[in-house]
Structures are given as C-alpha cells and as structure tokens.
Amino acid sequence: MTKYSIAVDIGASSGRLILGYLEKGLLKLEEIHRFENKMVKKGDSFCWEADKLFQEIKNGLKKCKELGIKPDSIGIDTWAVDFVLLDDEDQPLTEAVSYRDPRTDGMMEQVFEKIMKERLYLETGIQFQKFNTIYQLYSLKQNSPEILEKAKSFLMIPDYFNFLLTGKKANEYTNATSTQLVNAFTKKWDHGLLDLLGINKEMFQEMKTPKTVLGTLKEELVSELGFDLQVILPATHDTGSAVAAVPEEDQTIYISSGTWSLIGVENDFPICITKALDYNFTNEGGIDYQYRFLKNIMGLWMIQEVKRNYNDEYSFAELVDLASAVNDFKAIVNVNNDRFLKPDNMVQEIMNYCVETGQQIPVTPGEVAKCVYDSLAVSYQEAIHEIEEIFEKEFEKINVIGGGCQNERLNQLVADVTKKEVHAGPVEATAIGNIAAQLMALDEIQDSKEARLIVKKSFEIKKYVPAAPIKD
C-alpha cells in the first residue's frame, strides 16, 4: 500500500505543505497548501508569528482531509537558530524573536570574553555569525535574565511545532548544531560551554536524529482534524533536508540557493582547523551524522529586498531580464557584509557601498539586479576556492538546489565564473529531503544512497557549462 508523507517546509518568506509518495520507483510531489511567513514588529523586537504558522500547518492538514488524502506521516523543517522558551506550564516566555533582530549586536564579542574564539570553534565547528543561537541566548542573559531563570524548555522553531502536534519535547540534531552549543565530536549539548556562559543546561532536551518517529498527534488534534498520523523528524534545519536531496553525492559542491546561499560539501567528520576558522566555514550536522561543511552567504535575500524596495513593480523573472539587458555596468559588493543583513533600504545600501568603494553606482533596477547577481557569483567563486584549498583537491561540478536553481542567469554566471559544470535541481530539494527521511523511517526507502538515486530519476536536472545550458 502506498505511504503518503507530508513535508511542512517553512522558509523566511513562505511555507508549504507538500505531499510526497513513491509511484513506480519515482518520487511524486503535490503541493497541498501554501501560506505567507514574514517578520512582524512586536514591541521592540522583530518576531515570527509562531501561533499563526502552526494554525497554517493545521489548515494544510485539514485540506488533506477535504481532498480525500490520508497522510501516514508529517515532518517539519524551518530555518535555523531561532527558538522558543517555555515555562514550567509549557507556555512561551517570549515571542519567537527573529535572527534578524538587532538584539545580538555586540554579543559575540562579549561571549569571546568568556571563551576564546578559537576554542569555541574547535569545540563546536560552527561559523561565527552574530545571530547564532548562542548570542541570542547570551543577549537574554544580559538584558532579560529573569526570562532565562523561568525557562524550563528550550525548543527550536520546528521542535516547538512538533511539541504542539505531539506533546513531546525533543531537540532535533541537525538544527541543534546551528546553535553553536553542540560539541562537534560528541554530537551532544556542550554542557561545559553552557556552564561557562551561565546558561541553564537543564532546559535543553534530549537530542533526536532524523528518521526518528517522535509520536502521534495529541488527542484533541485527532478530534479536530479527523485523523491521526505519525510525526517523524526529518533534518528539521531546512538546509539539512535540502542537502539530503542532492542527487550527486561524490565530487560535487552543493549550493542550496534561496533566501540564503549555503555552499559546501558533505564530509564524514568535522573540519575544525585554523584555515576553516579563518575562512569562517561551518560544520553543521546532517542526516546519518554526516557533516555539512559549508559557508553561509547572504543569498537571494538581497534581490528579494530589492524587489520590495521597488514596491514589487518587477517580478523576479523581470529583474533577471533587466539585469541581462545591461551590458556596460560592473560593480561588486561584499554580499556577506553585515550592512546587507537588514538594511532600511537594500537598493540604497548597495549604492552606498559602491560609492564608498569607488565603483560604478547602479541607478536603474537592471543595474542593481546585475550588481547583486554578479556579486553572488563572485562570492560563490571565492567560497569554492577556499573549499578546494582546504580539501587540497578540485571538485568536478556544482549542484545548485532549491528555489534559486531556477535562476538561469545566476546558474550560467556561476558556470562562467568557476569554469565548472553547474547541475541545477531539484527545485523542491528541501521538501524532497524532508519526505525522503520520512519514507526511510516508514521503510519505503532503504537508505540515503537509494534516496539520492530516486531523486536523480524523479526530477529534472539542468546542466550549465561555461557556454550555453544543456538539458539532461
């Protein structure tokens, strides 16, 4: 009998419920429900609307019933680092504050006063970004210690939704590693580090790995929805799920392309050497205890903001066309500069950067878009060079996955700049990796190797060489 799994994939701008199942050896997908996600200002903080998001998850499940679909399982993935703290009655102590909130300004430097930067990297293997969970928690300790004193449970965003579904608390491993509070070698919460920072280690939950069956729905949800199903952990960090769907496993660099661009390789062990620290690479947990050795690059967030700054007058496709029509403009910005994390106006910030660095100033929407795409391609090239230097080898190809793989201009730019083949697809990599983990738990797919073979057969992959794109 066919098993049906639901991937709940929530990103920084939208969320979806996607149905997945196997048919004649191929993985089939069907979008059931789509909804908006955005940061909102609550008091002085930029927050996610967690209650509204959970309601949308339930709305999607209700649509399943309307469509006559009885899913066997559900798995949830979201962005990383953000969390909810619960009190002794399991009520949230704060809003779900966003990683783009400025509360972490200056916190990284304060943490370095407690533990040397080099030691922190050696123990956790996680790249330094000012919004990492460790700095969010330290900000609470410094500015709202009473909240941490009351906190009894630490749940990351997908952990929290899983708790609302099942009543069971667990911290999923791949997402937990993004906190910079998990030891890269023991794969456990680093209690020594938590003690050094004065953060209550008792609020952290038992770590569970992808493919774990967490439980079934709470009774009141079964009554509300009209059916029960198993809640299975995928890699709840969306990049972890996306990388699990990379069809090419060997000799390939992946770029998970969306709001962020995550560029790296899979490895059997963490690389915590000085050069990896200097280049600010991370060793995030992956499925089957693989390590995702990668660098976080600002990504298509910049073009999303550019689109918004132009009052959504142009679609993403139109911005690509406008950029393609510009031949005599060239300026490169450092996309990883913190000034582009959440500027008041992205277009103006790009222009200001070009003024300050003595470059041509983009004026038209096409020039601004071209600047963003060219800058992303250059940042990818730099990261690939660093990866190859660390591994002391050349990689043969690049696999671009996720929504950004539909940007043919950027794919071709990456091929041209890196002089490597670029394989683009699958588009729905995160949902695919999420569903694959569930189907492995349900014994429909044997292992990750078989899952990758199924992905390769099931979805279109386009190939770009430093010339013209060729369809496989």
Q: Which residues contact 356 (CB under 8 A, 6 or more apart)?
A: none
Q: At residue 270, what are phi and psi to the nearest 5 degrees? A: -75, 145
- DSSP-derived letter for residue 344 is S
| Cα separations in angstroms, 69 against 22, 24, 269, 379 | 15, 19, 41, 44
Cα–Cα dist 376/200, whole Å: 40
- Sequence length of the chain is 472
Cα–Cα dist 358/213, whole Å: 56
Contact (Cβ atoms closer than 8 angstroms) between residue 244 and residue 286: yes
Beta strand 171-172 with 207-208 is: parallel
In sequence order, what DSSP letters do the residues of 417-472 get, joined into one string? Answer: HHTSEEEE--TTHHHHHHHHHHHHHTTSS--HHHHHHHHHHHS--EEE-SSSEEE-
Tokens 């939208």 — which residue?
A: 14
Instruction: List the alpha helices (DSSP H) in 67-188.
Output: 107-114, 117-124, 133-143, 145-150, 157-166, 173-177
For the CA atoms of 61, 62, 67, 69, the dihedral, rounded to the nearest 10 degrees, stands at 40
Vertex 346 angle, CA 345 and 351, to 5°:
100
Helix 408-418 to helix 316-324 angle, to the nearest 10 degrees? 50
Buried b (16+ CB within 10 A) or exposed e, 280-318: bbbbbbbbbebbbbbbbbbbbbbbbbbbebbeeebebee
375: exposed, middle or buried (C-beta count within 10 Å: 0-12, 13-18, 19+)? buried
Vertex 240 angle, CA 235 and 243, to 5°:
125
87, 238, 268, 321: the catalytic one is: 238
**238 an active-site residue?**
yes
Please state whether the peptide bond connecting residue 466 to the residue before it is cis, i.e. omega within 30 degrees of 0. no
In sequence order, what DSSP letters do the residues of 225-255 get, joined into one string? Answer: HS---EEE---SBHHHHHHTT-S--SSEEEE
Contact (Cβ atoms closer than 8 angstroms) between residue 74 and residue 235: no
Catalytic residues: 238
